[in-house]
Amino acid sequence: MISQYLRILVVAVVAASGVASAKSPPHAKPFERFDGCVLEPDKWTDGDSFRVRLPDGRLTTFRLYFVDTTESRSRGKRSDEQAAYFGFTRAEAVKLGKVAKAFTAAQLSQPFTIQTRWRPVFGPTRYYAFVFTADGEDLAELLVRNGLARIYGTRTPAPDGRDSRQYRARLMALERQAKSEGRGGWRLAQHRAPLANYQSARAPTRRLSAEPTTLPVSPLVEAYFGNPCLVDSCPPP
């Protein structure tokens, strides 16, 4: 009788441990750090996704956690979603994407650091990463601070120990600062708002077109988007 009770007890313990392990989330892989990385641009390079030569010679494409720059080539619905975040048109979103692409290339012109857990981005050809410039600046933070990226995408605890909520809160504070100072895409959005209000006041009964109306943009904004380095941290001409 005692041996039967022992067998029942053992089975119960094993079953309980199995349930507990099934409910426990898998531990995230530790970050792997690579110093001295070099940017290797290709036709798919964008402000938030780019090919990198690692110190051991491997060529790998990485994408930033937490942020999303607008596409530098029109991507239909995706470009429209990115444009809506800032409040302008698809064509202007593409233009902002080209600015972000040039900005990232300037920031990574010197050897930089990659920290990655090798989490794939929709397949085994790209991996999420945190990227730090030669000066130790977080590239995702730089993009948001300069109004060149939206806060959007995959999250994870940061390499410095901050959880994803703390890191995102930092990005949101930088975005508020970029908006208040009219940086990057927020500068264009700020110029669009008064123009849209003026047009609405002049024609209150006009039916809205299904296509977005192209509003005039001030010379200041045109000059900004014609120069990808009218933002912080760009190298002098």
Report pLDDT for 236.
39
Determine, yes or no, domain membership for 68.
yes
Determine, yes or no, domain membership for 115.
yes
Determine, yes or no, domain membership for 11.
no
Determine, yes or no, domain membership for 237.
no
Determine, yes or no, domain membership for 157.
yes
Determine, yes or no, domain membership for 1.
no
Beta bridge partners of residue 127, listed in sequence order = 62, 120
- What is the mean pLDDT for each group of 10 consecutive residues in the chain (237 residues)? 50 45 56 98 91 97 96 83 91 93 97 97 89 98 97 94 97 97 88 47 38 35 43 42
Q: For residues 138 and 113, what is the distance between their CA atoms, to the nearest angstrom?
A: 10
Structurally, how many domains does the chain consist of? 1
End-to-end CA distance of the chain: 88
- Put simply, whether the predicted model's pTM sits higher than 0.75 gets the answer no
Phi, psi at residue 202, to the nearest 5°? -75, -30
Parent domain of 34: 28-200+215-225
Report pLDDT for 189.
73
Determine, yes or no, domain membership for 230.
no
Give the residue carrying structure tokens 């392990």. 21
